[in-house]
Structure 1
Amino acid sequence: MNNDIKNRITSLTQELNQHNHSYYVLNKPTISDYAYDALMHELMKLEKEHPEFKDPDSPTQRVGSDLSNDFEQITHQYPMLSLGNTYSEGEIADFYQRVSRAIGDNIEYVCELKYDGTSISLTYENGRLKHAVTRGDGEKGDDVTANVKTIKSIPLHLKGDYPANFEIRGEIFMPLAEFIKTNQLRVAEGEAPFANARNAAAGSLKMKKSAEMAKRRLDCFLYYLLGPDLPGNLHSQNLEQARSWGFKIPEHYKICTSLPEIYTFINHWDKERHKLPFEIDGIVIKVNNIHLQNELGYTAKTPRWAISYKFKAEEARTQLLSVDYQVGRSGRITPVANLEPVQLAGTTVKRASLHNADIIAQLDLHENDWVYVEKGGEIIPKITRVEVSARHPMSAPVQFISHCPQCNTPLIRPEGEAAHLCPNDKACPPQLKGKIEHFVSRKALDIDSFGEQVVDLLFEKGLVKDVSDIYDLSYDKLIGINRVSDDEENKRLFSFKEKSTQNLLDGIAQSKNAPYANVLFGLGIKHVGATVAKTLTKEFNTIDKLSQAKLEQLTTLDDIGPKVAQSVIDYFADTDHRALVERLKAAGLNFKSEAPTQSSEKFKDQSFVISGTFSAFSRDELKKIIERNGGKNISGVSTKTSYLVAGENTGPAKLAKAEKLKVKIISESDFIELLER
């Protein structure tokens, strides 16, 4: 009897999984809704009566759970970087030429639609979905596996000949028909409608109860494969293989070998996009060859082998009411236009950035002008032009301010820069608060419960004037203090109660375990981003060594130019900065990292460029061997390069440059011989 039940559960599971694939991935239903529901109800009943036979990837998981999800964070095995955006054919041509200069001509590109949803990374082990993670900050994201399992176009179990471990990335989106239906339902229930389908998808994915998310019929296209054992060396080939495993891979992509072909694809979908049952906001262009992608590599934020073209944004006409001036963490003054509210791309726009004094002058902006606004990249509103014919004849030009709106210090404009700055970095309130907000942010000290509102409150009460004061906070100082938010539309009281007080203190205590690179980034040294901080802490494994570094020592490091180097030197030349570091040391923060284990000094004072693919080692393994033997890895061939280690598919541009500069080019076997001498 039990065997019969087990076999029936297995049969129903397989049948329903096949129907789901036919309906949601292939768009070819093979059964009526009524018959499908009958099979589903039978399976649910059997699983409830005999849970011991339930498959962990049963199609009944698609309905979700009524239990609340607390999203934990997972570190991405491969960073989820954003793509660089372009808005003109000229910028596409620049990208095309950069790639050609780096790796040669006759390159294949894959042009794809840019889906307007929310990014997701899916990890599969032995054919089963292990976890689904949002982009987050690119290094780690939220584990939304329970919610993603309710999306029926995402397979829980694969078919065919798939790798044992891999990651596949894509975009979760809400189809337009479902978006309309969802908003109609929200309005009927007295809730505010979603502004656009992208917001609807992102909001749904973070719902606390997966059963509620399951009611919103989200969909997902997958478009990039990652892992140590990919089926092929072409991105397009990997897409088709992934399709055979059961993934919903987009149909609308094209392999192009020339700029005119890329332009044709862009222009076609700029016209045809409105006929699609989902929203797109541009085109993505990727180098097809995976080896060449690795050769081109990455910047700190974006891959060099891919770029996105954004379609022209929607535009709206409205009237300028006034101009405010915001002060940033670095003292940068940003003018912001206050506008008569206007609908644009599904949202109400009230403010728009004017960037700097030059932009105001170029627009010839006058008081009360009628202006046209668009969303730059469809995210940040900006004024693009003025309707001069509608201007009042007595209207005065908008004059950029001469003094800081917060501390009244005369502004400066450094030579060669577009922005005006407030130089009062040690007393201007927005700059002081901005430094604290940066210090506690996720990529720096990542202090839980320390948001902008808390910074405002503690600064206002005089409890935190600089970042070292954070470590003097105590339960008695915090409990009971409160403030009302300045948000005119949503005034609310924030108060430190027992739980919020303890949460903040726990977060502060935990921050003392943050890596040295995070602490250095948190100091907010000009031009020292998260990637540069990692480079500096790798070379100077204590803050004392870094504070004494000379210009020539700093500029020999990969990705550290004279501007960054001088900024580091200037920071530590300031007695207040040195005193701040000492207070943070006394508080117990981590200002050192373990020096890399060195097995020899065989490669001392030698620098290597690794290019191409290898049989005995991976690129990362080669780099570690070089470092363990006292050598240095650099990204580009220059007069400072000792060796170019050239594997298969080494970029022709690197080879040519090495030959021109008479840099020694060695193979993998040459490198091994060099190592064993």
Structure 2
Amino acid sequence: MAGTDASAGESHVSDDNPYVSEPETDFRPVADLSEGEAEQQADYLREAIRFHDYRYYVRNDPVIADRTYDALFARLEDLEDEFDIQTADSPTRRVGGEPLDELGTVEHVVPLLSIDSSGEADDVRAFADRVDRTVGDAVEYVCEPKFDGLSVEVIYVDGVYQRAATRGDGQTGEDVTENVRTIGSVPQRLRGDYPDYLAVRGEVYIPRPAFHQYNRERVERGEDPFANPRNAAAGTLRQLDPSVTAERPLDCFFYDVLAAGANESVVEDATASSGAIDFAGLDTHWDEHETLPEWGLKVNDSCRLVDSIEEAIDYRDDLLDQRDDLDYEIDGVVLKVNDREQCGTLGTTSRYYRWAYAYKFPPRTEQTTISDIVVQVGRTGRLTPVALLDPVDVGGVTISRASLHNQAEIESMGVDVGDEVRVERAGDVIPYVDEVVESHSEDYFRLPEECPVCGSPVEREGPLHFCIGGLSCPAQLKRAVEHYASDAGLEIEGIGEQAADTLVEEGLVEHGVADLYDLTVEDLASLEGWGAKSARKVIDQLHASKSPELATFLSAIGIPEVGSTMARTLARHFGSLDAVMDASEDELQAVGDVGPIVAGHIHEFFESERNREVIERLRERGVEPQAAEEEGSEELADLTVVVTGSIDGWTRDEIEDLIERHGGSLTGSVSGNTDYLVVGSNPGTTKREDADDEGVPQIDPEAFFEVLEDRGVDVER
């Protein structure tokens, strides 16, 4: 907050309030105050903080600095805590109350209907023609941005915040009273000459800069970002713990008075008499726009009053041009008949207001702006640059992030924050930045020299960058724990991404995956979201996992370039963990499918003192991989197979194990050395096209099993 002119609006604070203009924040110790002095100071502070909230959120013209405001707020918290003098409408209640078991539902004072919409100007003109035919008089329109947030109903009684609810189905909504209370732009107490009863509609949203910052923090924590600001606002507003909502950057615009009057019966009386609802003398929507700020409710300053539908269409086009420069996300404009009496004549349908229309923007498609670039640290320490994007529609899916792959890719494209880029989806699934359409920087983004998570040095290997912190890096440790317990590892059900994060953050796993075996039922049951039953199940699974198959263990410990297939190959060839650990690079290259690069990664992994210590700590806790069975038969020694699609009743691992136990090879891509492409259900197209190009026979699973049986392989399980 910054500014110096405090004259406007000071009539709503006491003349002798010392905390309005240039407040002194060198307070006497709380312990030195009497109860009466504390109550007086707290009253002044509440009054002043409400005033400063109004100047900051509604007037956008603060009169004190942020640090001064924080000092006033902290002082009020101290006074209320020490003397137990918190009031129901105190600003300190914005920090959040007790967590809820669930969100209840409430009935709206009047139905909150939807708005008919289109992206075509001719449809907007048709709407105006219907209005003209019904009303018969000159029509003005109020033009407003169509915010991409979450609609809410907020109620004030005697000027005090009473209740808030989401739109829901239009008749009832979720009770989000405590969560909306935490939003700074929603006043706890109204200002000025407000009606005794007020129901108003607003839109809760996350400002774009805050949305991008929040998504950045999520990505850095290894979490998926929100696809768009609306999802982020909706997810935040529906939190069961209001203190979580309070930590997130929500804001609110108000735009429609639903009912106003002497008391709550204003709605019931109007309904009973089939009369019009009182709007406290607000005869037009533009009256609302000008009056709501006087009551302390924030409105949007881009609204406009126009005399014709053509001016409204021009407004929409102007706002479309400004769209990328706004601090909030919009997806069109709302056009409302200004006169309330005309609105009553127009009425509603069961779903829509007949006096309002949404003129939508075309969706952003494929081309968008990079708002930020963040760096994720993976299980192996690899740094991956991720572009955070202004949400864009790609193939019917909203994309808010895309991979930049590595430093070499960044350098080749010359990409940096602020650039306009084209986004595509690899295989219609994984989004990535394809090219820079318009550069707004003379440089390109550079990966950091220190790990953004733990501060360890970063080393470059070819196009890739790696944090050398190992398991001392919390990011690597979290992903190592997750991988160790995943389906690709020891399959410990209950330890997924979120649980792995929690275990590391709570200090229950500090040094490596071996710490998992030191956990107790009590440790897990004490964590949020866990119970004794689920905790016992995980502990039992960990105990049962102490004698894993060698191949499973090799896959679980996270050797670079070693997945389940390579792990089985190594296990069959070497037979024991010690033999794999002690193998030279030449011995590793003697294994089928192990080239010099993979052999180097495996050898380096086991040469690492840190990794050997991890394995030793696992063994100390009773984890001992079981020696692999002797090499199988050789019925399929000369057979190389590729599978596309799924085979009913079989997993890919089971098919691979069957082939390899009999000496054959299951590979991932078709080449001239492939004997058969097995085509299951829902196959891909690439492998089939490659098979056509290479002249590789394509057979269905039934024919494939016949080939195996002809070679003496029993396919019964």
Task: State the TM-score, normalized to the length of structure 2.
Answer: 0.44
Task: State the TM-score, normalized to the length of structure 1.
Answer: 0.47
Larger radius of gyration: 2
